[in-house]
A and B are shown apart, each in its own frame.
Chain A
Amino acid sequence: MAAAKTRTSTFSRNLSTAPPSHGPGLKCGPNGTVFLSSGIPDLDKILGGGFPLGSLVMVMEDAEAPHHMLLLRNFMAQGLVLGQHLLYSSPARDPRGFLGTLPSPAASKDDKSRERDPDQEKGLRIAWQYKKYFGENQLDGQRDGKHEYSNEFDLRKPLERHFINGPRIDCVSIQDSDLSTLRDRCATFLSQFPRNDGSISCAGRIAIQSFCAPQCAYSNMEWDMLSFIRSLKSMVRSSNSVAIVTFPPSLLSPSFCKRWQHMADTLLSVKAIQDEDKELAQLLTGYQDMVGFLNVHKVARINTQVPVILEATTFSIKLQKRRYLVLECLNQAPVDGSSGTSYGTSGGCSSSSKTGNLDF
């Protein structure tokens, strides 16, 4: 897995007071940012901790696959499980119906199986191309605190009713309402979490699904939608919350599509995979289990000028045992010696496996 390497500088903060303790589900990161989990532990690792508070995350959907719903479900369920407030809006007439499909946290049996004896591994001499598989074990140091921040979700088990019926959820249907009512709802929601220098008691999450869906009356008013996003971004920046907006880029004109992408602090996109594609099956290992691709285009860096450069930007979305959402790097399948395929695949491959130059 790719992990963002945090740069430690020679400057160190003079912390005269103890760092403020935050509410559940929040983690401190470098440069004074506070993170919230996306609900998918692999994605948190890729992004360097999670979504920073005050950022706007945009997800570009693929019209042919519902993978953005998987991301939204995990995000929303994570917030509910940790007691964070949630505002959800979708183009359906009754958005509450979607809440019934939220997953429940998985039982944590996996923790035990992943603990390894670190002493044993020191004797191992690992070939260089396999080192990437072992790097992640060193990060598993703080497994106890993990469940307070993020959970793995079991997509087959629905979330318990008491989470959904609580007072912390608000739903808005954007089919019939116009942008100003939506903006007012967001503003009232976000006023509950103003940002100040003290400790953060609770955080909020906003999830807007398929923002420019054609059923909405405002969907051809492109400038208005853009200014909504800009005002949402500024409201979110001055509060302790994270907003996710998903949209299908094929329904926007290309210039607006670019403008929306520039608005995002963190930009992700999901893509569908063709079934029974022989070429792709030959090129990638694990093709059969994949349901889609996730691309990370931009990672939010709010308090610093240093950009994040990821080792890999394309990940495959797999459902382990049809329950757990897992993101993996793409691995090029072993190529036989006679044919030399080039690196020109559509997904960026992170492993540097050799192509067929070994002719004996």
Chain B
Amino acid sequence: LRDGALEGELAPALTIKDSVPFALQVFSHVISQLFSSILAGKSQSRGLVVVSFSRSPSFYLDLLKKGTDVASIQILDCYSDPLGWKDQLREVKHMDKLYNSIIELGKGLVGGGKIRFSIAIDSADEMLRHAPVSSVARLLSNLRSHDQISSIFWLLHSDLHEARVTAVLEYLSSIVASLEPENFSLIKHNSKKGKFHVRFKKRNGRVRVMSEEVHIEQSGINFINQGLVPKVQFSLQLSEKERIDKANVVLPFEHQGNGKPIQIYDGRRSLVDGSGEIIYYRDSDDEMPDSDEDPDDDLDI
């Protein structure tokens, strides 16, 4: 998501689907990560538009503010008045109007031209409640093909919809992340662990699958980094003992300049004097004894 879209291609899109209560935390995690990389300049997009349906805009402002300026974020408020009772303009049903307002907000954020922005849709469920699947699909695919959109992601509660609707949203996205509770029989509110599976559709047509464990804590969400390290033949992780040993190794340039005489191991002398010897028998006595000398002495310059 961070790398964004290439010219002429559809923007990457992520569906976070779940059936457990802590998906909203995952969504907040993703959004805050993306936002921090936007602010740090590491991502292709320069701004973030949040379309909030199921939570109030002030929640997102609080989440993402945290001491940074909010000039790079715009929130489209679809939460307060979705059916347009108070204010006709706020009606959410018309996907075309929604599309236009998202694009306007985004343009207002980053200007016109080539600069791109990202979109986070709070909950696709709410969109599907108000509009038929084909209009939502059309909205999403048009957003993806817009030149100025770097990436887009949304949350979907898969147990609220028919299988076809979930299939449609998966079809439209290039990354699908699904959350499962750890143990199906324990779907209680205090079950705090789960698994996070991701399927990436790569450009060459292959699918990469990854999964991680997820722990919910008071302060936030914690991804236990089990599966994201690619499976190679080498073991890239260190055990505790290995970690301690690694910390104990003194690197060669670290111990110089400590005041002790500098000892550079050159391979010819053993480290501890006198305990070992290297005995060398020459292969033949005819061998010229200049093999130890500097070969450059032969040069005639």
Q: Which residues of A pack against B, CB within 8 Å?
A: 63-67, 91-93, 97, 175, 213-217, 219-220, 248, 250-251, 253, 272-276, 278, 291-292
Closest CB in chain A relative to B210 CB, distance in Å? 10
Interchain CA distance A260-B133 in the complex, whole Å: 22
Which one of B69-77, B110-118, B168-176 is at the interface? B168-176
Given contacts A272-B205, A276-B231, contact A216 B168 (CB under 8 A): no
Given contacts A215-B134, A276-B231, contact A63 B209 (CB under 8 A): no
Interchain CA distance A341-B26 in the complex, whole Å: 41
Given contacts A65-B201, A215-B141, A278-B231, contact A272 B206 (CB under 8 A): yes
Q: Are B208 and A251 in contact (CB under 8 A)?
A: no
The yes or no answer to B65 lying at the interface (CB within 8 A) is no
Which B residues from 121 to 169 make CB contacts under 8 A with A? Answer: 132-134, 137-138, 141-142, 145, 164, 167-168
Closest CB in chain B relative to A338 CB, distance in Å? 21
Residue of B nearest to A175 (CB): B138
Name the contact of B172 in the complex, choosing from A67, A97, A214, A217 (C-beta under 8 A): A214
The yes or no answer to B41 lying at the interface (CB within 8 A) is no
Residue in B134, B137, B170 whose Cβ sees the most chain A Cβ within 10 Å: B134
What are the 5 A-B residue pairs with the smallest beta carbon separation, nearest first? A214-B137, A65-B205, A215-B138, A275-B206, A275-B208
Q: Which residues on the A side are within 8 Å of B202 (C-beta)?
A: 275
Q: Are A214 and B207 in contact (CB under 8 A)?
A: no
Closest CB in chain A relative to B255 CB, distance in Å? 42
Closest CB in chain B relative to A268 CB, distance in Å? 16
Closest CB in chain A relative to B202 CB, distance in Å? 7
Interchain CA distance A58-B230 in the complex, whole Å: 37
The yes or no answer to B29 lying at the interface (CB within 8 A) is no
Given contacts A65-B205, A292-B205, contact A250 B171 (CB under 8 A): yes
Closest CB in chain A relative to B80 CB, distance in Å? 29
The yes or no answer to B199 lying at the interface (CB within 8 A) is yes
The yes or no answer to B204 lying at the interface (CB within 8 A) is yes
Q: Which residues on the B side are within 8 Å of A276 (C-beta)?
A: 208, 230-231
Interchain CA distance A319-B238 in the complex, whole Å: 38
Q: Which residues on the A side are within 8 Å of B8 (C-beta)?
A: 97
Residue of B nearest to A92 (CB): B145
Q: Are A274 and B209 in contact (CB under 8 A)?
A: yes
Which B residues from 179 to 235 make CB contacts under 8 A with A? Answer: 199, 201-202, 204-209, 230-231
Given contacts A63-B171, A64-B201, A251-B168, contact A215 B137 (CB under 8 A): yes
Q: Which residues on the B side are within 8 Å of A216 (C-beta)?
A: 134
Given contacts A215-B138, A215-B141, A251-B164, contact A274 B207 (CB under 8 A): yes
Interchain CA distance A291-B207 in the complex, whole Å: 10
Closest CB in chain A relative to B70 CB, distance in Å? 33
Name the contact of A273 in the complex, choosing from B164, B172, B206 (C-beta under 8 A): B206
Closest CB in chain A relative to B144 CB, distance in Å? 10
Q: Which residues on the A side are within 8 Å of B231 (C-beta)?
A: 276, 278
Interchain CA distance A61-B66 in the complex, whole Å: 45
Q: Which residues on the B side are within 8 Å of A292 (C-beta)?
A: 205-206
Q: Which residues on the B side are within 8 Å of A97 (C-beta)?
A: 8
Interchain CA distance A97-B168 in the complex, whole Å: 24
Interchain CA distance A214-B136 in the complex, whole Å: 9
Q: Are B167 and A63 in contact (CB under 8 A)?
A: yes
Q: Which residues on the A side are within 8 Å of B141 (C-beta)?
A: 91, 215
Closest CB in chain A relative to B268 CB, distance in Å? 46
Could you show 5 A-B contacts with beta carbons less than 8 Å apart?
A: A65-B206, A97-B8, A219-B137, A272-B206, A275-B202
Q: Are B138 and A272 in contact (CB under 8 A)?
A: no
